[in-house]
Amino acid sequence: MFKYDAPPALLKDKIILVTGAGSGIGRTAALTYASYGATVVLLGRTTSKLEAVYDEIESNGWPQAAIYPMNLEGASEQDYANLAATLEQEFGHLDGLLNNAGLLGELKPIAQYDAETWQRVMQVNLNAPFLLTRELLPLLRNADHASVIFTSSTVGHEGRANWGAYSVSKFATEGLMQTLADEEDGISQVRVNSLNPGGTRTAMRATAFPGEAADARPAPEEIMPLYLYLMSTDSINESGKAFHAQR
């Protein structure tokens, strides 16, 4: 497990956007960032789940969050531009972007993989992070040392039978991360890395491994040290790298 001791005010005054913030790892990351002092922009497709996270942040007395409901599957380029304009108006810059939302799709051999599911998975896991990050780049460049995290997977590093579009989207995510990191190197203070959570106890994991015992994998809370490290100024010299939360 990646180890990092975060001081309580680690993310004080930072503005961090988390996608898929209503449930799973994204929910825990949003709560964790808020608990360390960040103002978190909660983006997701289910408003009621985002509201529950918002309320939890408020009841703990952490910095007030912002809610931005958005379905990454159907969002247009204009939707992303509108989001960027709203954040520009509200905050003027963005310190962190956690591209976390993801879709598993179906676990089937390529020979039988449904083309429509393939497109949906690519849209949520790859195209949406591309569009979102592109639109938010000016705001990230406005910050001192902004951090962009793309969420990867073990099957984004090695192909595995039946993981289809999910695996391919995560390989491509690594390519997107490396390309952007190289482009920003030397021209901005934006750092760009990928993060593989490793098998983690969430709804997605339960769908992918239905026979697995509920407590077989760590809870999202246990993998937060790497999420904190990559958003903190301790990682300002890290860019273009693939990180693994459980190694």
Q: How far is the CB of 181 from ligand NDP (least distance, A)?
A: 19
Indicate which residues carry an active-site annotation.
166
What's the CA gap between 3 and 10, in Å, rounded?
15
Q: Which residues contact 10 (CB under 8 A, 6 or more apart)?
A: 36, 37, 228, 231, 232
- Sheet of strand 242-244: strand arrangement: 66-69, 39-44, 15-19, 96-99, 147-151, 191-196, 242-244
Q: How far is the CB of 72 from ligand NDP (least distance, A)?
A: 3
Q: How far is the CB of 143 from ligand NDP (least distance, A)?
A: 23
Nearer Cβ to ligand NDP, position 143 or 156?
Answer: 156
Question: Which residues are near ligand NDP by CB under 6 A?
Answer: 20, 22-26, 44-46, 49, 71-73, 100-103, 124, 151, 153, 197, 199-200, 202-205
- How many of the other CB atoms lie within 10 Å of CB of 38? 25
Nearer Cβ to ligand NDP, position 93 or 199?
Answer: 199
What's the CA gap between 217 and 198, in Å, rounded?
9
Nearer Cβ to ligand NDP, position 93 or 108?
Answer: 108
DSSP for residue 247: -
